[in-house]
Amino acid sequence: MPHQPIRRARRDAVVLVLAFIASLLASIATAAPPDPVHGGVVAGGAGWTQQAKLLADVAASNDYAGRAVALDGDTAVVGAAGADVGGNDGQGAAFVYVRDGGVWTQQARLVADDGVAGDEFGFALAISGERIVVGARFAAIGGVAGQGAAYVFERSGTTWTQQAKLAATDGAAFDGYGNAVAIDGDTVVVGAQNATVNGNTSQGAAYVYAFDGGWNLESKLAASDGAAWVQFGRAVSVRGDSVLVGAVSATVGANQGQGTAYVYTRDGGSWSERTRLVASDGEAWDGFGGAVALDAGQAIIGASSNGMAGQGAAYVFVGSGASWSEQGKLVAGDAFNGDGFGTSVALSGGVAIAGSLFSDLAVAQNAGAAYVYTRSGGAWSQQAKLVAADASDGAEFGIGAALDGSTALIGAEFASGADGWPGAGYVFDAGAGTCTTPLVEAFDGVAAPGLPSGWSVAVAQGANTWQTVADADTAPNAAFAADPSSPSDTMLEAPTFVPQAGAMLAFRQHYDLEPTYDGGVLEIAIAGGAWVDFVDAGGSFVEGGYADTMIGSSAIAGRAAWTGDSGGWISTRANYPATAIGQPVRLRWRIASDVSASRSGWWIDTVSFGCSDVPQALAQVSPLQFAFTLAPGGNASDTLHVGNAGETGSTLSFAIGESEAACSAAGDVPWLAATPAGGDVAAATTADVSVGVDAGALAAGTYTATLCVQTSDASHATVAVPVTLNVTGGNPDLIFADGFETP
């Protein structure tokens, strides 16, 4: 695959190579980091589905589209720093797309009005409302080669026009000005990672501009403890009166190249450095600060070389002004050496994304992935793993990432297109199908017999109670209520939460209750209403539902309930009532007994109020087209790979049909065969299908057909794979199109 690295300043290349080598040596020599936050892989799942692939109308191989991406509401921007413009090789462009009714269309192609070859306009970009800022890190300024510039564009209606060109008044050749940009309202920040400061080569700087009828330089930011080669300004982010700047190669203590990030705040028109953020478990050459993002009161910082052999990580901090603290460390649940997790990061409310551009998939090496995390209280957990529907080797999906609400934009600078590998942006949307985890409780954050914050006990009869005990499904604690021989009626009440569409309740339980006389039920109160049995309210159990109907004289006599002996820990999963979706809800586990014999009691553990549905499969089909050339009477074959990049435990079913036209008109194609024509694929595995063509009964000419791959993955229910057979008068000669090679 003819990937050519994007042109880089020589100093950048030297620093990066040395940093990478040192990172590997340091990682191998050190112990594993503290316990990180990670979870199961949910590929394209948990409500996230690919909505669109954004491919430029003039895409060409090595455009590097997707290295930089930006998103604001229904507007997406994809940078193509290698794009040719009017014959200028690598001048660069940025493509603007808008969404209407779930459909994305290209609205504009932005180029610098004074651009020339090699500027790499689009290497960095950002959007805020009706403004876009684009970095051109090698633009010449006043005859100074490669100093760099940034361009501001503004939209009026559907038309974008260049509003300003920003450049450092004290810039020098190859400063890298424009290698990173950020915008929020009337504030723009431009990074210059190679700028010389106080005689320190490549210490780096960041320039802040404010709009007041025009764009004016407000401040030049430089680290108070800066040194040569720290590359301050590699990444920048702005939110209101706060700016975050990454210094990817900064030394921390004795750790060279560990990296830092600096927080600045504005008072009036004056900016001041407030604090320096570092990873609590940082190591030499982690690359911390290579990607940064700010949101209200929180920040995320990528460290793409952290961990053993560069698996990568991202760190979340919370705070303001000079007071910030590390809240969590995010790593991939399926991390592997050299994945580069944290190369890109994005943050929006309680959702974070980290790109992992070298992640391997079941059907493609170094295809890349992006991981979605959600916050519950102060804890972050992995929610989804996003991958491209047309993932291919070396696509580097995840090199760029942007997030706004329930929409994510992921860049893949070597994604395939009609002309080789131009790169693209991929839009994923959670929308109404989002199923974040609003609350998860395992009862482990308290000392027994106390209950977690927000949980309470209500006693309607007797003296029985709920408490935590050290007898759990997952250590150390579970919630427990005894089953006494006297009348009792006791409720364990959960905090209020709002279930989203697609959410499912799940918990583990173990009960030993006097059969049909003593039992437990689940009750729900919706939007402040009365307590009602979960099933009577419209909920339904998918697994582990009520065991029997109660008799006797207890407070729940006559009702279906959990009663008798569960035989150990069991799983219970349930769909919420339709009337509960989007409403404030409370749940309670209610145990009641009568005057007869006692039994052990009822244990509850690991309650998930959000995404706990059956494991989701994700189809990955490659290649996406075949082309054969044969002499009359010849035959040949190639291999179609059907992979399942879904959740652990998922199964993907597939069936393959043939069509001479669209997949909606399937029928027999005599010269084409696929064997096997269907099957099941376990998670993280691939089924190989032999695609055979036979020109035995064909005259010379070109024949076309389509393999229609039907899958159980609803987001990729049908994958169409075009097949072209060219029958000539020459010798049989199999040609693999578009770079595909023999297996």
The answer to whether 372 touches 409, Cβ cutoff 8 Å, is no
H/E stretch holding 26: helix 10-29
DSSP 83: -
Name which of 152-161, 207-216, 302-311, 508-517 the model is least confident about.
Answer: 302-311
- Among residues 169, 151, 150, the alpha carbon closest in space to that of 160 is found at 151
H helix or E strand, kind and range, residue 404: strand 397-404
The residue that leads in pLDDT, 40 or 315, is 315
Q: What gap in Å lies between CA 367 and CA 362, rounded to an integer?
A: 10
pLDDT of residue 664: 60
CA 249 to chain CA centroid, Å, is 25
181-191 per-position pLDDT tens digit: 999 999 999 99
Going by their DSSP bridges, the two strands 149-156 and 131-136 should be labelled as antiparallel
Residue 22 has pLDDT above 50, yes or no: no
Q: pLDDT, tens digit, for every residue of 255-276?
A: 999 999 999 999 999 999 999 9
pLDDT grade, residue 33 (50/70/90)? very low
Q: Tens digits of per-residue pLDDT, 578-624?
A: 888 777 889 999 999 999 899 999 999 999 887 433 456 778 888 88
Mind giving me the DSSP string for 490-527? EEEEPPPB-PPTT-EEEEEEEEEE-TTTSEEEEEEEET
What is the residue type of 93? Answer: A
pLDDT at 501 (0 to 100): 66
What is the arithmetic mean of pLDDT over 126-144? 97
Q: Is the pLDDT of residue 732 over 60?
A: no
Q: Which fold does the domain 10-53+60-433 belong to in CATH?
A: Methylamine Dehydrogenase; Chain H (2.130.10)
319 pLDDT more than 80: yes
Q: Find the angle CA(652)-CA(653)-CA(657) to the nearest 5 degrees.
A: 135
Judge whether 401 and 346 are in contact, CB under 8 Å: yes
670 cis-preceded (ω within 30 degrees of 0): no
**Cross-strand bridge partners of residue 309:** none
Contact 461, 555 (CB under 8 A): yes
Pairing of strands 626-630, 718-727: parallel
Burial of 261 (0-12, 13-18, 19+ CB in 10 A): buried
Neighbours of 608 (CB within 10 A): 20
Q: What is the spatial distance between Cα 572 and Cα 541, in angstroms, rounded to a whole number? A: 7
Write the CB contacts of 345 (distance below 8 Å, at least 6 apart in sequence).
Answer: 291, 292, 293, 300, 301, 302, 314, 352, 353, 354, 355, 401
Distance CA 61, CA 84 (A): 10
Domain range summary for the chain, segments of one domain joined by +:
10-53+60-433, 440-608, 619-739
Tell whether the model's pLDDT for residue 487 goes beyond 60. Answer: yes
pLDDT the model gives residue 437: 45
Say what the pLDDT of residue 431 is: 60
Q: What is the mean pLDDT of residues 719-723?
A: 89
Structure tokens given for 278: 């570092």
| Range 651-666 average pLDDT | 77
At residue 317, what is the residue type?
A: F
Tokens 């997949």 -> residue: 663
pLDDT tens digits along 442-463: 999 899 999 998 899 999 999 9
Residue pointed to by tokens 């070597």: 414
User: Mean pLDDT across the chain, nearest whole number?
Assistant: 87
**pTM of the prediction?**
0.62
Domain 619-739 top-level CATH class:
mainly beta
Give 349-384 pLDDT, tens digit per residue. 889 999 999 999 877 899 999 999 988 767 888 888
* Topology annotation, domain 440-608: Jelly Rolls (2.60.120)
Nearest to 680 by CA among 651, 706, 660: 651
Q: What is the pLDDT of residues 613-634, one digit of tens each?
A: 345 677 888 888 899 999 999 9
Amino acid symbol at 361? L
Collapsing DSSP states into helix, strand and coil, what is residue 302?
A: strand
- Integer angstrom CA distances of residue 512 from 414, 464, 484, 563, 650: 58, 15, 11, 7, 32
Measured in whole angstroms, the distance separating CA 457 from the mean position of its chain's CA atoms is 38
**What's the mean pLDDT in 430-438?**
51
pLDDT at 666: 56
Residue 202 in contact with residue 193, Cβ under 8 Å? yes
